[in-house]
């Protein structure tokens, strides 16, 4: 099997929901878009370089094109990095609920647009600790997780708290949450990876060298 190194990237600054007019520049060349399951995501990435410790401002708009509401967990996004492909994926919402603490769910009505903003800060492995066949971040995309059924999760919709402690409810809704999770994935946008001055530069190995160094099948 292919070896895919997943490195958790730390993300700071909570996503801020707003029902105001979206602030996405539709003419921005670094806009990314995804449409799946009758839900659309438009996002704008500020800047074209990923540098450890430096924030990446992200603005995104979720449009519900369904005839029924959808729900998105109000959580700090999680960011994953695939060191084999160089893909950075920012996860919005979650595909599984908590075991004891459950997040607030933001409702987006049929035909409604909701705007959000966040800042991602990367914390990746330094060059000296990386696998010989790994590469630095090359591209970035966003994956939105949402729930299309609202009734099982009514106790969490637009609550004033960021999260509630309810192990019994978490147990009751776990299966429905996992089975009901749907996603929208945007296209990827190229990013340059720049180390700080104190770090040694990362060179990108050629495809042929990566294939020879792989322990998996060709």
pLDDT digits (tens, 9 = 90+) for 88-141: 888 899 999 999 999 999 999 999 999 998 877 666 554 444 566 667 888 999
Q: What pLDDT, on the 0 to 100 scale, is given for residue 108?
A: 97
Place 58 in a pLDDT band, splitting at 50, 70 and 90. Answer: confident
Place 188 in a pLDDT band, splitting at 50, 70 and 90. Answer: very high
Distance CA 1, CA 214 (A): 10
- DSSP H/E element including 172: helix 167-180
Distances (CA, A) of 106 to 21, 72, 77, 93: 17, 5, 14, 10
């Amino acid at each position: 099997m292919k070896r895919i190194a997943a490195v958790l990237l730390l993300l700071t600054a909570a996503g801020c929901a707003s029902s105001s007019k979206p602030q996405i520049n539709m003419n921005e060349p670094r806009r990314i878009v995804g449409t799946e399951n009758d839900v659309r995501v438009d996002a704008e990435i500020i800047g074209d370089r990923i540098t450890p410790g430096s924030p990446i401002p992200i603005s995104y708009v979720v449009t519900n094109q369904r005839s029924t509401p959808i729900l998105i967990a109000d959580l700090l996004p999680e960011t994953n990095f695939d060191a084999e492909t160089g893909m950075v994926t920012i996860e919005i919402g979650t595909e599984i609920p908590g075991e004891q603490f459950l997040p607030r769910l933001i409702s987006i009505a049929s035909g409604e647009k909701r705007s959000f903003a966040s800042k991602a800060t990367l914390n990746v492995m330094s060059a000296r600790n990386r696998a010989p066949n790994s590469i630095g971040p090359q591209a970035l995309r966003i994956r939105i997780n949402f729930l299309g059924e609202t009734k099982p999760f009514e106790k969490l919709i637009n609550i004033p708290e960021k999260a509630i402690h309810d192990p019994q409810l978490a147990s009751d809704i776990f299966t429905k949450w996992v089975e009901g999770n749907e996603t929208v994935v945007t296209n990827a946008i190229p990013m340059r990876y720049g180390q700080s001055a104190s770090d040694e530069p990362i060179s990108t190995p050629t495809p042929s060298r990566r294939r020879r160094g792989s322990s998996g099948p060709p």
